[in-house]
């Protein structure tokens, strides 16, 4: 048991990677995500691949990933860190504290940048 578990603090390691990815996809692309290029709704196998963090090739030929076409596109943070960051920012936890807890070891500046991006997107 680590110190954070002892005092009951949730950390990114407490989150399931796939569950975190599904929550982020649902937040940004809805319950039934589709192709960011042609907009067609993905079938169950393609959604499964997306939720597993794999690339999906649409019938239109465009390859996309879990966060293609969203503000999370291109992030180097993993889904647990992203969801943790979003959740803690919602609770007004100071960015320096959030940064310390991330698996990736973000800087407070990275957290501030995400706070600005999420605020601009209306997610905070």
> Is residue 57 within the footprint of Zn ion (CB under 5 A)?
no
Considering only the stretches 16-24, 58-66, 75-83, 95-103, report the one whose residues sit in contact with Zn ion under the rule CB under 5 A: 58-66
User: What span, in angstroms and rounded, lies between the C-alpha atoms of 89 and 73?
Assistant: 19
CB pairs under 8 A, 24+ apart, for 104-108?
Answer: 104/76, 104/77, 104/78, 106/77, 106/81
Q: Contact between 38 and Zn ion (CB under 5 A)?
A: yes
Residue 39 CB, nearest approach to Zn ion (Å):
7
Which of the stretches 5-13, 35-43, 80-88, 115-123 binds Zn ion when contact is defined by CB under 5 A?
A: 35-43
* Residues with Cβ within 8 Å of residue 42, at least 6 apart in sequence: 32, 33, 34, 35, 50, 56, 58
Tokens 């997610």 belong to residue:
123
The answer to whether residue 58 forms part of the interface with Zn ion (CB under 5 A) is: yes
Interacting residue with Zn ion among 11, 27, 28, 37 (CB under 5 A): 37
Nearest distance in Å: CB 34, Zn ion = 8
Residues at the contact surface with Zn ion, assessed by CB under 5 A: 35, 37-38, 58, 60, 62
């Amino acid at each position: 048991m680590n110190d954070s578990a002892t005092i009951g603090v949730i950390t990114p390691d407490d989150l399931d990677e796939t569950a975190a990815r599904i929550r982020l996809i649902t937040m940004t692309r809805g319950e039934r995500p589709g192709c960011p290029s042609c907009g067609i709704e993905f079938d169950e196998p393609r959604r499964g691949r997306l939720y597993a963090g794999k690339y999906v090739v649409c019938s239109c030929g465009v390859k996309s990933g879990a966060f293609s076409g969203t503000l999370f596109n291109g992030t180097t943070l993993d889904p647990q860190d992203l969801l943790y960051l979003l959740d803690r920012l919602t609770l007004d936890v100071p960015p320096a504290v959030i940064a310390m807890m991330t698996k990736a070891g973000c800087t407070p500046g990275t957290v501030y940048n995400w706070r600005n991006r999420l605020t601009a997107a209306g997610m905070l």
